[in-house]
Structure 1
């Protein structure tokens, strides 16, 4: 019998291989999960998952009162270079803005790095007259006929979307708005966006690039969101649909359709938000996240608050939009092991991907990967993954790893063990600088693992670095979907100042932030979502005169004045670099406001934690080989573990979405929320 109540919250993470779905019962706090193979178009997998909840779990789609999802469609469109044919209309004299870029080498020691290919070829860039000066004053008017003629020429060349980016539009965007209106009237079928409406920040190349990316992915995302909303409604879902953002927040799909560039880095951001939520549940706000998927390991350092960055890179392109600060290295479960010219074993960054995937998947892959090493060493269940739905072929894994073993002159198990040790060293080398950059001590932090391979590898990393403890949430392969469930509404707004503190008036500073806050509040009001609280966070980018890089300074609530801002900058600079020159003049660059509409937090079911019962009976045992020694590991099923249970390694915990490997030297207990808490044995 289909159940129409209680109401449910649905969180969805659309990945390249699987679409992960979590359904939360708001009355009981219970979770239902599903992993559906991702499809093209992506909405097919989402709807298949909803139908699965309906048919297998009796959940009427009309009982879903909250629907939030993240998708890799935008970032994959950019990375795979299969977006729309984009044209660019820009100020006369600036046709080569995308060709010139920033004259910085991505690798300082390599003079032969190939130049990235622009998203818009030069033949599709049109120059027009009209000009604003650096203060936003008009020095030459736009010509309607010239604008429309340029747009018609681009459309005749097969262009379906147009980005408009004029000089100094961050100061005043009236020329861009006028050009967009003229084009929309003459060619209503074209998708048009402007640089100022996308991100009005000084830096000509970055602002132009953001508008081009928005246009490049805009048509596809607009169609996707519209199709998803229509088909979800046909299935009976009456709830508003939300999309996650790069900054860890959510926005309505209507807003996402108009600014799809905001969703570029939403996948990694959702995972960090989910990890922070788990940390708040258990009273731990000092967490290093380890998201290990098939291709990469994403890491973030939560030091009381979720970290943010305004300098991100997607493929060949810098993206200056605020995003959760996540660092990635090529060390996932699909990372390929290889031997260099000197005979040294390396792992990654090349990945086998989902197709053909690791050799053990039986899809045609022949090169050894980290996952194949897990299989050879007995860590992965030979019965298969996803509860047996995905078969594993140990003989194919052995053949792939055997090729590495023959070249190294070692045994099969020794080669597989070496692959894992190199992968662990790669992750360690990526994590330590992240901690050092923030002045953080590893011993003050917990490691939280998620992703399909994160729990498999997390204890190997914890053995090498002195962390407080290891946390494996109940559904680590679905943590990004949990992040979609618990994210707040969040939006960022920016205005460029670029003025010396010595000449900036307090009144101008206050007026600027008042305008930004009004814009932020209007955005939140337009989203029409009930929130329990509203927070407005003000910050400013500041540098010393002559510096090329800036420091973001969070501003206190209350009235603003330039002297206080500068003193806060000196204090922040000293905290980061150990020194501040209070006599040197400061320059204020970007004024920033982030608005947070705090949504109702779901309550996950917690069970009373009884006194420690000791180790539950294992379901079986299996021989493993790791760190040069053979051992017998206890095998536990995650579904059989209860709060209060505890056991010691070597052990393996099998569950639908991942495999947890606990080597010797660690003990694991189950807390009230069914998290696995690992600590070094006394």
Structure 2
């Protein structure tokens, strides 16, 4: 059988990761190449060149899925399109007023977040739709076109339209969009009723504005990328990952880029879920440690989702996999505060100048310098030997910091790791408490460039007894692209008392959402994907009447057809969350949700046990002197395939791989399962 490949690419701030799997789901090759901020698609072209050099026939790639941080970086760095906003008369300050909540409730002097669209580029339009969808005032076309002409003269290239109650009646938004495109076809125009039609005026307007702000740049990027990969002979349609862990065509992502903002962390969680299911593990905490921070997510059979995520200063209402950034990363800088206390992070050395040992001008010590000083990193084996580290520069930086503390360079390095781990613990423990889980019941699944090196220290601090390191952990987000399914979310704002529901009304609304979702899957898959099946997940945002916050309740078809069963489920879930329920109180159905999933056929059918035995490395592990916990120790140094399948190795063990270094300290054992995962167990 001819070899057919799947290609996953994850564009990060420092490196662009590429991973290729074959018909059987086996990793054929994985690589990292430097990201190029000015022309991000060039890093993908460089990766394709390297894949060709490694013997991968580009024309045999039938699935190409990629994720990029271009959209989220555009928002954070505030370098998107000059964007205008059209709103209903009287709502010009909706982006300025926000929710009138303090970002930090303990700080009364916090700075106000600057609106994404300045006030002079927000135009009020005479029109009004009521909450029941009835038109109170017709749209003034003359005023609309005059406002847009003025905005174009101001230099806008993108335009967001968000009219009051457009979620229930989008007629005015559609009319405005049609007339504007006729008059100004060069403008990137988007409407709130298309982007996310939910009854939360600020969040809906903000999501639409963010989409316009990054849309023009994302659209031109996808166009350049599509033209470039065609020149390489790559015939597969270009797909992009989404914040919800699914994927969509590049053309859809170009028109709705706001759905891709958190796709990088989401791809990692999807890959982690796939790894956990293959290994037969249901409860997992992901530990994705990069250069700046650690991304943490919960998987209890399935990943947790949230509609309360943030990108930079902005809340995102569109559903995404629930990922929280905590603590410090591999490039976090160690420093002393005003009273001489050692701190690590939040400032990061990044890729340039990077840690002191990179010899790129960085003078401050980082956690990477600490690992090098302790002997856990090897100077001539970093990134598979492609990048030389400089131990003398790490020692010098650590010595300068340690002088003030009365510590030598090695003691300072250990102190940095201790403080970094304490930072993680201080944020990790309350996060788990808020989610209502005991982390000791979970497996810590570590990936990212620095995750496998620090995960066991974190597990030791928290009391987590098992750590799993998957194959190619440094490129796991790219792997997530190869195992993702088509997935999209749809919402309908009902905001109705359950007693006022007409018979069958709930089912009618859900059927309409399901129909929209299945049509979306059919359009996305047409000509590019063959799907095994398509299914839908149903839920409703519910609350007691008079309350301001909702609980999302998953619903079965039986509960949808019988609202009384749905209400009973809400009461039960409310009591589970808050320890009390109000069975006599009336229940509101606020929003109805449908997630539609088009399942891409799995290519994971290889006999992993045979493959694992065939690749076993019979060479004896090396030994290296390290210092850890301020004690000189002898550590075994080996590759993944030198770890036995039917036996365990006692820590300390250092496992060196192309994309990361794995450190198993004393007190843990490590073994390898038939899928190639490394399993560390606390003794």
Same fold (TM over 0.5): yes
Equivalence for 2:328? 331
Equivalence for 1:411? 408
Deviation at 1:436, TM superposition (A): 2.2
User: What's the C-alpha RMSD, in Å, of the aligned pairs?
Assistant: 1.9
- How many Å separate the matches in 2 of 1:112 and 1:28? 54
SS state of the match for residue 515, structure 2? helix
SS state of the match for residue 502, structure 1? helix
SS state of the match for residue 106, structure 1? coil
- How many Å separate the matches in 2 of 1:677 and 1:446? 10
Q: Is 1:42–2:40 an aligned residue pair?
A: yes
Equivalence for 1:546? 546
- How many Å separate the matches in 2 of 1:577 and 1:305? 23
Equivalence for 1:590? 591
Equivalence for 2:637? 635
SS state of the match for residue 664, structure 1? coil
SS state of the match for residue 106, structure 2? coil
Deviation digits for residues 353-408 of structure 1, max 9, x if unmatched? 12211111111111121111111111111214111111111111112222221121
- How many Å separate the matches in 2 of 1:329 and 1:360? 25
Q: Is this contact kept in 2: 1:6–1:27, CA < 8 A?
A: no
Deviation at 1:23, TM superposition (A): 0.6
Gaps of 5+ in 2: none
Deviation at 1:438, TM superposition (A): 3.2
Deviation digits for residues 302-341 of structure 1, max 9, x if unmatched? 1111110010111111111100001101411111112222
Q: Is 1:430–2:432 an aligned residue pair?
A: no
- How many Å separate the matches in 1 of 2:635 and 2:431? 33
- How many Å separate the matches in 2 of 1:313 and 1:272? 17
Deviation digits for residues 97-126 of structure 1, max 9, x if unmatched? 111111000100101111111111111111
- How many Å separate the matches in 2 of 1:422 and 1:547? 42
Q: 1:434 to 1:506 in 2, by over 3 A?
A: farther
Shifted more, 614-623 versus 480-489: the winner is 614-623
- How many Å separate the matches in 1 of 2:409 and 2:427? 28
Q: Is 1:454–2:454 an aligned residue pair?
A: no
Q: Is 1:498–2:500 an aligned residue pair?
A: no
Deviation at 1:5, TM superposition (A): 3.9
- How many Å separate the matches in 2 of 1:535 and 1:610? 34
Q: 2:675 aligns with which of 652, 673, 676?
A: 673
So what's the TM-score if we normalise by structure 2? 0.96
Deviation digits for residues 551-610 of structure 1, max 9, x if unmatched? 110001345232122111111112222221212222221111000111111217413499
SS state of the match for residue 281, structure 1? helix
Q: Is 1:300–2:302 an aligned residue pair?
A: no
SS state of the match for residue 341, structure 1? coil
Equivalent residues, number: 676
Q: 1:389 aligns with which of 375, 381, 386?
A: 386
SS state of the match for residue 103, structure 1? coil
- How many Å separate the matches in 2 of 1:413 and 1:172? 66
Q: 2:76 aligns with which of 76, 79, 82?
A: 79
- How many Å separate the matches in 2 of 1:369 and 1:517? 50
- How many Å separate the matches in 2 of 1:326 and 1:420? 24
- How many Å separate the matches in 2 of 1:628 and 1:130? 71
Equivalence for 1:53? 51
Shifted more, 80-89 versus 627-636: the winner is 627-636
Equivalence for 2:654? 652
- How many Å separate the matches in 2 of 1:610 and 1:31? 14
Equivalence for 2:623? 621
So what's the TM-score if we normalise by structure 1? 0.96
Deviation at 1:638, TM superposition (A): 3.0
Q: 1:148 to 1:430 in 2, by over 3 A?
A: same
- How many Å separate the matches in 1 of 2:584 and 2:364? 59
Show the 5 A alignment for 1:436-515: 436-515=433-512
Q: Is this contact kept in 1: 2:133–2:165, CA < 8 A?
A: yes
Equivalence for 2:354? 357
Equivalence for 1:214? 211
Q: Is this contact kept in 2: 1:616–1:645, CA < 8 A?
A: no
Equivalence for 2:601? 600
Deviation at 1:619, TM superposition (A): 4.2
- How many Å separate the matches in 2 of 1:328 and 1:129? 42
Shifted more, 567-576 versus 213-222: the winner is 567-576
